[in-house]
Amino acid sequence: MIPMAEKRRCDLALWTKGPVPETVVRYHDRRWCKPEHRDGELFAMLVLEGMQAGVSWSLILNKEENFRRAFDGFDPKIVAAYDGQKVEELMQDKGIIRNRSKINAAIANARAFLKVQAEYGAFDSFIWSFTDGKTVDHHLSDAKDMPAKDELSEKVSAELKKRGFKFVGPTIVYSYLQGIGVINDHCVFCEFR
């Protein structure tokens, strides 16, 4: 565990039950709400957010390296080519979330992701176009004020669904936009803004 009192942070107890794992602290401090522009990581976060539906984010973070291994480093070109045999292999992998719908969604999303890349030159250009390349900062005074979704996540969700993406409802997309830094929901007092 990382000592929580060293610096002022958002209320990470909202992210998990019980003691806050080091993986959650590291994610909050180094990645959450930080602008991400590398297409590989944009795809990785899309898969991880889809896998998180119905389970805790701390569980996903604890299994992240397993997901990266199982999904070939989240290379969308490789994932897009997965077949039924690969799906069955993933269904046997105890290191990841073994949910057939989520696995199939990751494959469908890889295919849709590649189409967006071809159209925009980079998925980064597409996803950041919703905010003209700027981060939306909600200047939250309390993490309890953080919405589960908003107008932006509803708009992005609708566009992703139209393009064939799966597991991209407005709540998952809101979390995704936070995860890639399009939305900054660090509390105003947080030293990791």
Active-site pick, 57, 82, 128, 174: 57
CA 191, distance to chain mean position in Å, is 22
Active site residue 120: no
Q: What is the DSSP letter of 31?
A: T
Active site residue 27: yes
State in Å, rounded, how far the first CA of the chain is from the last one.
21
How would you label 100-123 residue by residue, b for 16+ Cβ within 10 Å and e otherwise?
Answer: eebbbbbbbbbbbbbebbeeeeeb
Question: H or E segment at 173?
Answer: helix 170-179
Q: What is the DSSP letter of 20?
A: P
**Whole-number Cα distances in Å, 174 to 11, 39, 90, 167, 189:** 18, 18, 27, 12, 22
Q: What is the DSSP letter of 124?
A: H
Active site residue 49: yes
Active-site pick, 15, 27, 128, 176: 27
Active-site pick, 32, 49, 82, 128: 49
Return the active site residues: 27, 49, 57
